[in-house]
Amino acid sequence: TPPELIRNFCIIAHIDHGKSTLADRMLQLTGVVDARAMRAQYLDRMDIERERGITIKSQAVRMPWEVDGTTYALNMIDTPGHVDFTYEVSRSLAACEGAVLLVDAAQGIEAQTLANLYLAMENDLTIIPVLNKIDLPAAQPEKYAEELAKLIGVEPEDCLRVSGKTGAGVEPLLDTIVAKLPAPVGNPDAPARAMIFDSVYDTYRGVVTYVRVVDGNLNPRERIVMMSTKATHELLEIGVISPEPVPSKGLGVGEVGYLITGVKDVRQSRVGDTVTNASKPATKDLGGYRDPKPMVFSGLYPIDGSDYPDLREALDKLKLNDAALVYEPETSAALGFGFRCGFLGLLHLEIVRERLEREFGLDLISTQPNVVYDVTMDDGKQVHVTNPSEYPDGKIREVSEPVVRATILAPTEFVGAIMELCQQKRGNLRGMDYLSEDRVEMRYTLPLAEIVFDFFDQLKSRTRGYASLDYEPDGEQVADLVKVEILLQGETVDAFSAIVHKDKAYAYGVMMASKLKDLIPRQQFEVPIQAAIGSRIIARENIRAIRKDVLAKCYGGDISRKRKLLEKQKEGKKRMKMVGRVEVPQEAFIAALSSD
């Protein structure tokens, strides 16, 4: 297809504003998927995505659309819908010339609407503002058209109105995409340069890589080079998705499609990388490539220790499909053998954990997630800490922690409550704008550790669910941090160590000590539970001793009852972990680690 007849676009929206429903309707109207074959939310392939209603993996579909007798090729590129995947979103946007900015006409602009809009603007995309769900009785298209128009600097009449549900307004939207979005431009005679915006592992075909060609041509059976690694591969197949893969004779300037090289690991075909021809390679890549960087770490342990090999195998498999997942074996005195895993963020962690449990049938326990710290010792030595138990002893000069740039959107009545919360969470206000009389956008710098802890829940409860939050990594800051350790009878319980701000160390210590006091059964001897910073004890609880002579009850009783009791005790012992001399039921660890 000549570039003049191509339009590449994506739909950006806040979660639940109806992106998938609108995409489905477009597939149907352009005849790519017929109504009978239409499965709700065609683009969300993974079960977890469907159940949670979120989109993790982006995909691209080509749709024909006729305007005034000319048939155009519309490539719709699906973007992932959550903060953890900002980088993937930015690469998907970079593959487009324009974006449909979709806003629920009953909700108005939300934090993710803005965050995505900013990303789209950074990529110089042409924005088509659209109000969705106009069929809803609660829709207020007039009001929100004004908000939206003001935000992007157009007239309220320029905002289209559609219903992904009924299909109203969707045909005019497709016409507008053709009319308003620029056609792709590139040099057809230059060496090929194509950007990878997604890479998905398929059990049967190996890695399927989604690309947008900027210059030149990619042809089947030729050799290609991945510019970040210089690795070369044979192009076994290349084509477009419409809505199933259709092999083609190659992809040229402006085209969007997939390629298959037979590699088995998404790390060999990385999002953001540039693909070129091996025979006449481009000299300069397209830029913007970044290694995925894990931001949040957590220990994952099988509840049943004998599942450890299965957990390893499951992680090895998941990794093929997830370039951002990292892990290495670790042992914990409390939890046994497991893995220290790194994730892009909390949602990524949850998704991986859920897939391990659901697809691989594992029962897991995970430690309190933590961020990554850079510690500088007094002698200048640097330590990169991904696990609180690795936090160095000795004289520390400085500790830095990752921070995020957060966008919070809420009704104006909650400004005070939000400021108070952000203050508590060590936030710095960077700016504030009124989108309309009753809605405000607040921009904060916040430590990622606070977000990982319970920021979102707190925000929701203080604003009765009306606030929305989006954030992206924004470097590091030096902070006054300490490691709090929890000791049982003088022995550190590694799984409960945490790095916290100095002002919060006491609260953390008291909370953990009293939690454990309730969870650990009394023993034959007194057990002190202590929270400590280095050698300084900051909180203490005691579990009083008991003399537990179970057999005493059975004096004179029959022998079989006695045996049963002994057996039951043995059963129980198996699920006990020893911390020094203290027997701790595994449930106590699980309960203490689960957030409530």
Contacts of 461 (CB under 8 A, 6+ apart): none
According to the annotation, is 17 in a ligand binding site?
yes
248 is in an annotated binding site: no
Distance CA 517, CA 537 (A): 16
Task: Rank residues 48 and 533 by Cβ distance to ligand GTP and give the closer one.
Answer: 48
Nearer to ligand GTP, 19 or 193 (CB): 19
Q: Please state the closest distance from residue 163 (CB atom) to ligand GTP, in A.
A: 4
| CA neighbor of 439 nearest in space, from 180, 155, 140, 209 | 140
For the record, the structure tokens of 284 come out as: 């300069």
The pair of structure tokens assigned to 213 is 């060609």
User: Is 21 labelled a binding residue?
Assistant: yes
In the bound state with ligand GTP, the residue whose beta carbon lies nearer, of 133 and 233, is: 133
Least Å from the CB of residue 83 to ligand GTP: 12
Give the containing element (helix H, strand E) for 587: helix 586-593
Nearer to ligand GTP, 26 or 94 (CB): 26
Q: Which is nearer to ligand GTP, 54 or 314 (CB)?
A: 54
Q: Which is nearer to ligand GTP, 135 or 222 (CB)?
A: 135
Q: How far is the CB of 11 from ligand GTP (least distance, A)?
A: 8
Least CB distance from residue 102 to ligand GTP, whole Å?
7
User: Is there a cis peptide before residue 528, judged by omega within 30 degrees of 0?
Assistant: no
Smallest gap from residue 334 Cβ to ligand GTP (A): 37
Residue 315: burial class (beta carbons within 10 Å; 0-12, 13-18, 19+): buried
| CA gap 367, 340 in Å, rounded | 9
- Consult the annotation and say whether 436 binds a ligand: no
Q: Is 19 annotated as ligand-binding?
A: yes
Of 198, 241, 224, 206, nearest to 27 (Cα)? Answer: 241
Q: Which is nearer to ligand GTP, 49 or 215 (CB)?
A: 49
What is the spatial distance between Cα 96 and Cα 58, in angstroms, rounded to a whole number?
13
Q: In what order do the strands lie in the sheet with 160-161?
A: 60-67, 70-77, 6-13, 98-104, 126-132, 160-161
Of the pair 42, 496, the CB lying nearest ligand GTP is at: 42
Q: Shortest distance, CB of residue 244 to ligand GTP, whole angstroms? A: 21
Locate 502 and state its tokens.
């100095």
The smaller minimum CB distance to ligand GTP, of residues 110 and 330, is found at 110
Helix axes 586-593, 502-519, angle to 10 degrees: 140
Residue number with CB closer to ligand GTP (389 or 407): 407
CB 479 within 8 A of CB 425: no
**Residue 288 CB, nearest distance to ligand GTP (Å)?**
24
User: Using the 8-state DSSP alphabet, how is residue 3 labeled?
Assistant: G
Strands 439-447 and 468-478: unpaired
Is 134 annotated for ligand binding? Answer: yes
Least distance between ligand GTP and beta carbon 92 (Å): 14
Q: Give the whole-angstrom CA distance, residue 450 versus residue 501.
A: 10
Nearest one of 361, 369, 363 to 345, comparing CA atoms? 369
Helix, strand, coil percentages in the chain from 3-state DSSP, rounded to 5: 30, 35, 35
Measured from the CB atom, is 472 or 583 closer to ligand GTP? 472
CA distance 226 to 276: 7
Q: Which is nearer to ligand GTP, 168 or 417 (CB)?
A: 168
Q: What is the DSSP string of 143-171?
A: HHHHHHHHHHTS-GGGSEE--TTT-TTHH
CB of 53 to ligand GTP, least distance (A): 4
What dihedral do alpha carbons 274, 280, 283, 287 form, nearest 10°? -10
132 is an annotated ligand-binding site residue:
yes
Query: Which one, 82 or 483, has the nearer CB to ligand GTP?
Result: 82
Spatial separation of the C-alpha atoms in residues 280 and 223, rounded to whole Å: 10
Tell me the HSE value of 307 on the side-chain side, using a 13 A CA sphere: 19
How far is it, in rounded angstroms, from Cα 95 to Cα 213?
Answer: 9
Pairwise CA distance, residues 216 & 286, whole Å: 13
Is 54 a known ligand-binding residue? no
Query: Taking the complex as a whole, how short is the minimal distance between the CB of residue 17 and ligand GTP, in angstroms?
Result: 5
In angstroms, give the least distance from the CB of 162 to ligand GTP.
7
CB of 551 to ligand GTP, least distance (A): 59
Angle at the Cα of 351 from the Cα atoms of 347 and 352, rounded to 5 degrees: 120
Question: What is the nearest approach in angstroms of ligand GTP to the Cβ of residue 274?
Answer: 29
Q: Which residues pair with 234 in a beta bridge?
A: 223
* CA 530 to chain centroid: 35
**Helix, strand, or coil (residue 483):** strand
- Which residue carries 């994952």 as its tokens? 300
Task: Name the amino acid, one letter, at 548.
Answer: K
Q: Which residues lie near ligand GTP (CB under 6 A)? A: 13, 15-21, 53-55, 81, 132-133, 135-136, 163-165
Q: Known binding site: residues?
A: 16-21, 132-135
Q: Known binding site for GTP: residues?
A: 16-21, 132-135
